[in-house]
Amino acid sequence: MHSKFLVATYSDSESLLRGVRLAREKNFRIYDVFAPYPIHNLDHEMGVRRSRLPWVTFVVGCLALTFAVIFQFYTTVLDWPLNVGGKPDNSSLAFIPICFELTVLLSGLATVAALFLRAQLYPGKKELLFAEGVTNDKFALVLRQRDAGFDAHRAIRLLQESGAERITEKGVEP
Amino acid sequence: MSSTVIRVNGKAPAAVEEKIPVLPPPVWVDGNPSLREITDDIAHPLEGRPGKGWWICFGVAFAALLNLGGMVTWLFAKGIGIWGLNNSVGWAFDITNFVFWVGIGHAGTLISAILLLFRQQWRTSINRSAEAMTIFAVMCAGMFPAIHMGRPWDAFFIFPYFPNQRGPLWVNFRSPLVWDVFAISTYLTISLVFWYLGMIPDLATLRDRARGGIKKFIFRILSLGWNGSHRTWSRYEIVSLVLAGLATPLVLSVHSIVSMDFATSLLPGWHTTIFPPYFVAGAIYSGFGMVLTLLIITRSTMHLERYITTRHLDKMAKVTMLTGMIVSYAYLTEFFSAWYGGNLYERYHFINRATGPYAWCFYLMVLCNVITPHFMWFKKVRTSAALLFGISILVNIGMWFERFVIIVVSLHRAFLPSGWGMFYPTIFDVGILVGSFGLFFTCFLLFIRALPMIAIWEIKGVVAHGAHKMALSSEDEEVAVSA
């Protein structure tokens, strides 16, 4: 499963955006863009869908809230009811702060864990850099030479037109 | 003749309407550096050898940390009797320091989370170090409840855990002290995650700068294989927003819950409903004081004036002034309610606060927290690093004394005069307070040597987008460019 990529390197985000726009107009599918910072409006230009990760926050938040309510009720009402200052066993109002804290804690941790899973970020991973300097001052637009209809010459011409500094081919072993 | 005048008047507004003047976008980095220069400037302090100034600061801080270690060891050996506590005043420096340090942490979360939601771009230069400050301050805070227990080796009893080795007996979930355990540990965890998440792209930048060896190895592990993919950036930004949204109510809840440790008791001076907002405002006030102290020192010693400009100092000074005035208002309200409420004990407490044996603490607090903020009405003060440094120190002193006044002055003369007493700190009280500063500054000094203290990628975004794309809506953009 050897994949071949066409990598165009830019030194400013305007030409990169121009490249993305041109490539999309000419029906090339953009594999990815690599940049040292999140470029304004690039999601829209690349046609990236808005991430659904907030659903993880919502679902885990609901579960955590349920857990916090049940846990506090179980310990103070069922497992060991204890009279403290004559307060009722089920002092539900007093349970609110811990319900809130547990909801925030577990949904926050779950969201970050989901991001790491989805983006495949984990300690010890060998970074796959398509061009030198994409974490410093370079921008790279990457097209995948996968389907039979991929016209490499047309793609290179198009990327040159958009103001790419360098265009290279890169093969990546999976 | 009159008809020509009318024609001129009719034409003039049409010409004006074409160009609506738009305020120039704010510039948060001086000298318009290139992307490479930004990386070099911020990564530079991490690559050379530390200067003399850093070693002196580190030496002092580390000595204080060693002192903390020694004193806490002695405390564990002898018990909390080595402090100046007595039957009347059962909480003094320990809980004062706890509330003080938790408060310091709040500015970091305010800057990183609340200002992110408000799209305030000036946060980008200061958020990383402010978040680091939060984490170290919460660490210092967390230490105090643990060491003030009679048996600190049983400190884990404050957490409910499975399997429950205390039989079926659980912690008391109705107690604000247990809420506090959950609030502080959640706050520390979420702050740590937020801080680390924000640092991953910068760790990747440092990894790619490192020529090899142990440095590259460590940064490679920490940066989790980050390669700048925009598909990841897109998700990353959403997750940052979600975390900011979670951290915003969290930061408000933490000091509210800390204040409930006091407010749910019946003690005059503690038993008031104003405490949660009053504590949160005070926390942000003291936190910004500490951010100013730290950043004014580091920007000059690390030569980062280009990124932490006087305009940043001006913004922080404004937040400090506003929260200082909220705190002053809370002081007034407390006195008013004591008088208007008509409760004998409450009234006596406030008379005692202003005229009793600890009145000097009260007046020092008023001087630092009520009068000092008003110097910041002047732009000259807000943009002078030296003056702001002085003010920030006063803010820190004032807020420490505010907590001392609330805790010790309320306890030392509560209801029955036969239960009255005085608190005098011993050398161990003072030594552990100084030691907590040692822990804080040691961590902070190591942080600025080992990790990028300014968010490189966020600065790049702000500089490259020329600020106006994010500051203005897209319709305004063209007008701004043409104007």
Number of domains chain A is built from: 2
The C-alpha atoms of residue B85 and residue B426 are separated, in whole angstroms, by 9
For residues A66 and A114, membership in a common domain is answered with yes
Asked if the Cβ–Cβ distance from A38 to B189 is below 8 Å, we say no
- Is residue B442 within 8 Å of residue B103, measured between CB atoms? no
B204-208 own/partner pairs: CB under 8 Å, 24+ apart: B204/A127, B204/A135, B204/B228, B205/A36, B205/A135, B205/A136, B205/B39, B205/B43, B205/B452, B205/B456, B205/B457, B206/B43, B206/B46, B206/B452, B207/A127, B207/A135, B208/A127, B208/A129, B208/A133, B208/A135, B208/A136
For residues A99 and A148, membership in a common domain is answered with no
Does B56 fall in a domain? no
For residues A95 and A149, membership in a common domain is answered with no
Asked if the Cβ–Cβ distance from B225 to A101 is below 8 Å, we say no
Q: What is the pLDDT along chain B (483 residues), one digit of tens a residue?
A: 333 333 444 444 444 455 666 766 677 787 778 888 888 888 888 888 888 888 999 999 999 999 999 999 999 999 999 999 999 999 999 999 999 999 998 888 888 888 888 888 888 888 899 999 999 999 999 999 999 988 888 888 888 877 777 766 788 888 899 999 999 999 999 999 999 999 999 999 999 888 878 888 999 999 998 988 998 999 999 999 999 999 999 999 999 999 999 999 899 989 989 999 999 999 999 999 999 999 998 888 888 888 888 888 998 999 999 999 999 999 999 999 999 988 899 999 999 999 999 999 999 999 999 999 999 999 999 998 899 999 999 999 999 999 999 999 999 998 899 989 999 999 999 999 999 999 999 999 999 888 988 888 888 888 876 544 444 434 444 444 433
For residues A81 and A114, membership in a common domain is answered with yes
Q: Tell me, what amino acid is at A40?
A: H
Does B15 fall in a domain? no
For residues A43 and A57, membership in a common domain is answered with no
Asked if the Cβ–Cβ distance from B175 to A38 is below 8 Å, we say no
For residues A39 and A25, membership in a common domain is answered with yes
Does B347 fall in a domain? yes
Does A92 fall in a domain? yes
Does A124 fall in a domain? no
Does B238 fall in a domain? no
- Domain of A11 in residue numbering reads as 3-50+132-172
Does A27 fall in a domain? yes
Computed over every residue of chain A, the mean pLDDT equals 86
Say if A137 is an interface residue toward chain B (CB within 8 Å). yes
Does B452 fall in a domain? yes
For residues A59 and A45, membership in a common domain is answered with no
CATH of the domain at B133: 1.20.1630.10
- Domain of B458 in residue numbering reads as 65-183+249-482
Length of chain A, in residues: 174
CATH of the domain at A138: 3.30.70
Number of domains chain B is built from: 1
Residue B475: predicted pLDDT: 41
Residue B11: predicted pLDDT: 44
Considering the entire predicted model, what is its pTM?
0.89
Taking only residues 42 to 101 of chain A, the set having a beta carbon closer than 8 angstroms to any beta carbon of chain B reads 42-43, 46, 48, 50-51, 53-54, 57, 71-72, 75-76, 79-80, 82, 84, 87, 91, 94-95, 97-98, 100-101
Asked if the Cβ–Cβ distance from A122 to B224 is below 8 Å, we say yes
How far off is chain A from B186, nearest CA to CA, in Å?
Answer: 6
How far off is chain B from A24, nearest CA to CA, in Å?
Answer: 16
Q: What share of chain A is helix, strand, coil (3-state, %, to 5)?
A: 45, 15, 40
How far off is chain B from A157, nearest CA to CA, in Å?
Answer: 23
- Is residue B190 within 8 Å of residue A103, measured between CB atoms? no
For residues A75 and A108, membership in a common domain is answered with yes
For residues A10 and A29, membership in a common domain is answered with yes
Asked if the Cβ–Cβ distance from B169 to A43 is below 8 Å, we say no
Does B359 fall in a domain? yes
Residue B5: predicted pLDDT: 36
Does B363 fall in a domain? yes
Does B425 fall in a domain? yes
Residue A104: predicted pLDDT: 95
CA distances from B5 to B9, B10, B192 (A): 6, 9, 69
User: If you average pLDDT over residues A115-141, what whole number do you get?
Assistant: 87
Give ipTM to 2 decimals.
0.92
